[in-house]
A and B are shown apart, each in its own frame.
Chain A
Amino acid sequence: MNKSISTPVRRSDAQKKIRGEAAYIADRRFEGQLYAKTLRSERPRARILDIRVPELPTGYTRVDRHDIPGLNRMRTVVSDHPIFAEDYVEYIGQPLFLLTGPDREQLCDLAEQVRVSYADEPGVFTLEEAEKQDTVFTDYQYRKGNVERVFRTADQIIEEEFRTGYQEHVYLEPQGIAAEYKNGILYVYGSMQCPYYVRNALLETMAITDKQMRVIQTVTGGAFGGKEEFPSLTACQVAVAAKKTGKPVVMIYDRDEDIICSTKRHPSKVRCRAALDKRGRVRGLEMDILLNAGAYNGLSPVVLQRALFSATGAYDIPHLRIRGRNYRTNMLPSGAYRGFGAPQSIFAIEMLMQQIAVKRGEDPLEYKMRHALKRGSKTCTGGRVREEVKLPEIVEKVKAMAQYDQKRIEKKAFSGIGASLFIHGCGFTGRGESDIRGKVILSKDGDTVTLRVSSVEMGQGAETILRKIVAQSLDLPLEQVRYAEVDTAVVPDSGPTVASRTTMIVGGLLQECAKEMKTRWHAVEKFDVEKVYRHPSWLRWDDKTFQGDAYPVYSWGANIAEVEVDPVTYEITVKKVYAVYDVGVPVDIRTLNGQMQGGIAQGIGWATIEVMEGEAGSLKQKNLTDYKVPTSMDAPQMEIAYVNNPYPYGPFGAKCAGELPFVGSPPAIAAAVSDALGHKINHIPLTPESLMEPDNEN
């Protein structure tokens, strides 16, 4: 372990946050500001017949599709979501228009008097219905080897279907955004992960140029993907409102509003067929991944891609047919959420391998390790694993930490121990990084250096980590390294703060800048160094056939979970989670531990207590009273360790980390519950309701 880069430093943002002085968007005040309230569809699928708005007092304005100067679509991978509804609505909660005004109570009163009449049309709500009606948005497929032959000659074929549910991010800071015009320039401020995504959306919707706008990220109170593409929608809405009213417009969501309309994790159904040879090794895999994309496709195609490229997890399976489909339903749109499709397919492959092992009477970890990828292995998309694969060391370490072998022998009824092995592809999926061509600028001015990047601090520690990389590369005290405010007028497009790419890709570029800057440090007082990301030369990717290296490198991990199930009530207690990760080299162990602990906890939530169900287009769980995330009493003790494996193209050897811990904990929990109950588990969340079998005598 590179001692100094891993040694923790004090976070630059912590002091203000602790003192309650950090200014989140809801804490900011704009001179003469108006508030915006969104009127939303109450129907899952309908034609809008009529909208009746009460007479608006002076200072109160309606802002709708007619006020949009440019495109009435939110620009993202598939720009299909209207900024404001036109003649049709496709989900309950879909934005119809805004009312703006100076007093929020008045806005509430006015909103309550709005009357909308609809002509209902039949909707599609579940994956079952969507499959029957074939409401496919996107259909992808790729192959490897000769899957027909291997199934024809298989010694055994195993078929299983796995299901996962919705998940809501519950970033503690609800969505918030504001827009104002100053000297003819549009300023947009808000809680966001991707200022340049917002900028791209504004270019289209406001029909303006870069010179006519600035997007500025404000202190962001958590995101997890929920502020990746969604703010592009709200930004366009407030921008249109600011233009129409000539005043600053602020829009802060209430929590229950945020829950019913902001993007969610895609529910999934994954069908697997495995062909085993006579030694029980999985030689062929057919996987069909069905994702519920909700009413609009948005960036779901990329979520689907990552799900596809994670289909075989940590395993080397030579013959594959992997298919994935995004389905349209009249539910709120699904979108980016930590893991981004990988958790769904890795849950499936992990449970499949687990079940095969148990059926064969083998230790699941040993069985899985028989299939583990190695350096030189072909990936599922026909690329190469070029790094050293430390899985054997990882597994040995986590087993020792958990005393796994011993505990498996000492098994008690209704208590279980389970393990997962997993990977996460580092950086943007597929062609993403080459499309983005992220750019960073390092600016020297005398003794201080300023990082100009579009990566946002959203709690994950980006500000601290990236500064640290530069400080260490330049041999400068951390205090002399600044982080420019993330303002599109000041920082270049380094790409979005997503895909666990910030440390590796953006940090890597910054390290290159720093190295170059170092050579000229004494010669020049004030200068900039710029760098643009390019994939390593050996990376080959064909986006049409999905063949080649979907990612330049992977991070790896293993989790072991211990659970107890109450024999009377079937409530689950997660006693402890042990985790070992290979993220290359930890850049600040304390920050990294924070990511891992948080990711493990979110994974536990998704696997056990976070229940979000749709009912004819409506959400059954619409507020934090009904949608439960883990509290301090639900989060278990965790023991975390790392295995060193420097990546030559990552800063100080670092790879990706943010999403990895989320991917690993759900299958480990499910495996442990399966072990506790002695039967297979095919779905999450694992609620007592879903686990308790009917009692015969009742």
Chain B
Amino acid sequence: MVTDAYRPLSLADALIFLAEQDCLPVAGGTDLMVQAARGTGVRPNFEKTLLFIAHLQELQHIHVTDTGILIGAAATLTALLEHEGIPAVFKEILKQMAAAPTRHMATLAGNIVNASPAGDTLPYLYALDAELVLRSRDRERILPVADFIRGPKQTVREKDELLTEIRIPAEEFNIQRYRKLGQRKGMSLTKVSFLGLARKKAGRIEDIRIALGSVAPRIVRSRNIEERMLGKSLTEARTMEPLVRKDYAVLIVPIDDARSTAQYRKQVSLRLIRDFIENLK
């Protein structure tokens, strides 16, 4: 069970190492170190060689442009919170993740690759159709986040690939609603999260995105349902809300676990959807 670890000198160096060895990339380690923990005074148990990437210069960036935001894999949640170009609603989401000390270490990339159904950043990334840059020594591919995550803890990352950058398109919304429900007000894993974003213009819905977390094996988002609301007035949206809610109900399939019940999660999700659509102003 003794494994090695490697601290690459550059991203290129990291990718070469990844191509040659089956290893586990580690950024902040806030999920991985706890998952591998073996108790007081005992080194956490990792089955593979660790590849440390948190220090790589090429992965630290947060670039905000007119077309979108480019976030390097080693950018911490704190760095995002302190960056003035990050949209307010995204900051609201980040601020409710864990607590400050964890956020000083944790990365957006880590939250994505961990692929938990309760991953806090995922609803936002899904709603914005974020794209992920996966690089290996020999190639690069760019995928929508929804295609990257296949299920709980499962991604399509090949073992020689590293998630190097997250690309979030620039969008304008004048209605933004985020609710995270946890077991308490301070630091909690998410029981249910709801994200509603909309842009209304001249009393009509020009764009609307709804995403829910922790209520299905993957993030719940439906372009089909959203598109039915496009162009509608606020009154029309309110009228069609029960049908919209019924359609979401089919997609919301939560579980009972140590933190909450399927019944509550489903019921509160639908209430949050209704509350959002009825209060689009």
Contact = CB atoms under 8 A, between A and B. Distances in A.
Within the complex, are A and B direct neighbours (CB within 8 Å)? yes
Interface of A: 26, 35, 104-105, 108-109, 252, 254, 568-571, 573, 609, 611, 620-622, 625-626, 628, 630-634, 688-689, 692, 694-695, 697-698
Contacts of A620: 258
A570 B260 CA distance: 13
A252 B40 CA distance: 8
A29 B269 CA distance: 52
A105 B186 contact: no
B270 A108 contact: no
Interface string B252-281: 000000111101101110111001000000
Nearest to B99: A631
Contacts of B189: 625
A692 B267 CA distance: 9
Interface in B173-199: 179, 181, 183-189
B270 A633 contact: no
B83 interface: no
A698 B38 contact: no
Nearest to A107: B42
A573 B43 CA distance: 40
B179 A569 contact: yes
Contacts of A689: 260-261, 263-264
A633 B185 contact: yes
Given A104-B40, A105-B43, A568-B275, A626 B259 contact: yes
B249 A698 contact: yes
A191 B188 CA distance: 29
Contacts of B185: 573, 631, 633-634
A93 to B, nearest CB: 16
Contacts of A634: 184-186
28 contacts: A104-B39, A104-B42, A105-B41, A108-B38, A108-B39, A108-B42, A568-B272, A569-B268, A569-B272, A573-B185, A609-B183, A620-B258, A621-B258, A625-B189, A626-B259, A630-B186, A631-B184, A631-B187, A633-B184, A633-B185, A634-B184, A688-B181, A688-B264, A688-B268, A689-B263, A694-B267, A695-B270, A697-B242
Nearest to B192: A569
A83 B153 CA distance: 41
Interface of B: 1, 38-43, 99, 179, 181, 183-189, 242, 249, 258-261, 263-264, 266-268, 270-272, 275
A609 B42 CA distance: 32
Given A630-B184, A633-B185, 19 more contacts: A35-B41, A105-B41, A108-B42, A254-B39, A568-B271, A568-B272, A569-B271, A611-B183, A620-B258, A621-B258, A628-B188, A631-B185, A631-B187, A634-B185, A689-B261, A689-B263, A692-B267, A695-B271, A698-B266
B181 A571 contact: yes
Contacts of B264: 688-689, 692
Contacts of B179: 569
A386 B111 CA distance: 63
Closest 4 CB pairs of A and B: A631-B186, A633-B186, A626-B258, A689-B264
Nearest to A608: B184
Contacts of A692: 264, 267-268
Contact of B184 (A569, A628, A694): A628
Nearest to A611: B183
Nearest to B38: A108
Contacts of A26: 40
Contacts of B275: 568
Nearest to A691: B264
B94 to A, nearest CB: 16
Contacts of B249: 698
Most buried by A among B38, B258, B263, B267: B258
Most buried by A among B39, B268, B271, B272: B39
A691 to B, nearest CB: 10
Contacts of A570: 268
Most buried by A among B179, B249, B268: B268
Most buried by A among B184, B271, B272: B184
A284 to B, nearest CB: 39
A254 B242 contact: no
Nearest to B272: A568
A688 B184 CA distance: 11
